[in-house]
Amino acid sequence: MIMREPRLIGRNDECRRLDRCLERQEAQLIVVQGRRRVGKTFLINHFFNNRFDFKLTGEFKAPKANQLENFVMELNRRTHLDYDTPDSWKDAFEMLGSYLSSLPDGEKHIVFFDEIPWMDTPKSGFLSAFEYFWNDFGSAMDHLVFIVCGSATAWITDNIEQNKGGLFNRKTCSLFLQPFCLEETAEYLHMIGIDWSEYDIAQCYMILGGIPYYLSFLNPAETLNENVDNLFFRKSAELADEFDHLFRTLFSNSNDYISIVSLLSQKRYGMTLAEISRKGKLTLNGNLSAKINQLVKSGFICANQLFGQKKKDIRYQLSDYFTLFYFRFVREHYAKDEHFWSHLNDNPSRHAWAGLTFELLCKDHLDQIRQKLGISGVLTETSSWRSHAADGTDDLNGAQIVMVIDRRDHIISLCEIKYSMNEFEIDKAYDLNLRNKISAFRQETGTNKTLQVVMITTYGVKKNKYSNIVSGQVILEDLFRSVF
């Protein structure tokens, strides 16, 4: 069994599944996907300790000839021979099969094709050649472990996961890497010498997400504010142009996708497909739906179901922390003030952003919330809710509940999410607001289930004469805990 390196944070389930693939006695076709920069290549490299029999990385926007040159250079390096560059991918896979056949029997042979979508250039014949190789040779080679990886999740899904041709139902393992959770982020920061409070780590998460590549830029000698200023707002900052690079390398016609996320960045609670079409002046057709689905699969937006509503009422919300931060602050303020984030420390716009982003953070740690509430073993359905009075608005004129947990035990938890620097205090006005929400929810949904108010806050609810309305509490510290 291959031993993991200690630098690998989290990914325990993925490593267990890879171990099982190595134990099997038949050929393995492993698909690895996830958001760009999430650590897919890092996981595979370190799980296998870079011990590959063949490894090829696709070259961004390079023609077929360049991709095949890269292929033959890797083959020559592995064989110590001097093969000529093949004319086609079919020839290349024939050469790969001959090379793999020459390797010793009785041991696993690991092949890793990274950024495989970039190899499939227009009219290159790559996909059909790969299909033929796997069906004719690879699938019959019991000791072959073939790993394909890519950030363009739409390509992976359409051409491998849901392939209707030669690769139909051929994959033996599918891994979709998620960003680090808060606990893993804290572990990673500790590993690189950063010892911040949970409050600061949460703020860091709300800017960079749990993306290891972005976290690797943090300087332990600087405060969080100083790090953010240096990474985003000073001239030639490391992450100032990351957004453009990210979308350019992920999507063809990237401007269309940027237009969609830009539109969603202006709406706190997201938009329906019809609203995106109308406000973005985009034709409501299958092409728009496909782009929305690709953004969902790539982790940039999420689809929020409204409580008791039909699928057509799904609201799409910008959910990628990095992208949200870019549109809210970086796009307009890059290089104008090298200490922009520090100077914004007590600004209302920063507080508003933190409140919204903390809601996203809580949604991404739903398992921790359910665990704290003691309902991990209870079947639940999570959604959001908007009163009819809030329809067509993006403010709080009508009652809204960001997180509704509908439980099989005949209880509905109405979760209020509040981000603050100290204990949250329920005053007379907020108490009335809560009671109005409960009343409106019961009246408009017609539910006969027990309704309970759950407060999800940074430091808890201050006990006073209004706090008894709260039936359950979750604090920031709870979101850092392991889920059992």
pLDDT over 50 (residue 5) = no
Last residue of a domain, one of 292, 327, 353: 353
Phi then psi dihedrals of residue 380, to 5 deg:
-135, 160
| Domain co-membership, 243 together with 297 | yes
Is 148 in the same domain as 232?
no
Predicted confidence (pLDDT) per residue in 49-67, tens digit:
999 999 999 999 999 999 9
45 and 161 Cβ atoms separated by less than 8 Å = no
Both structure tokens of 115: 């950024």
CATH of residue 121 = 3.40.50.300
Same domain, 347 and 386: no
Which structural domain, as residue segments, surrounds residue 56? Answer: 12-177
pLDDT digit string, tens, across residues 130-189: 999 999 999 999 999 999 999 887 788 888 877 767 676 788 899 999 999 999 999 999
Least confident of 129-133, 237-241, 248-252: 248-252
Domain boundary among 303, 320, 353: 353
pTM for the model stands at: 0.91
Task: Kindly report the CATH number assigned to the domain that includes residue 452.
Answer: 3.40.1350
Give the C-alpha separation, 199 to 475, whole Å: 11
Do residue 284 and residue 388 come from a single domain? no
Nearest to 206 by CA among 64, 326, 332: 326
Position 268 scores a pLDDT of 84
Residues 415 and 436 in one domain: yes
Which of 353, 380, 410 is the endpoint of a domain? 353
* Structural domains counted in the chain: 3
Q: Is residue 183 part of a domain?
A: no
| pLDDT per position as a tens digit, 428-478 | 999 999 999 999 999 999 999 999 999 999 999 999 999 999 999 999 999
Confidence of residue 311 (pLDDT cuts 50, 70, 90): low
What does the pLDDT read at residue 396? Answer: 46
Q: Are 72 and 105 in contact (CB under 8 A)?
A: no
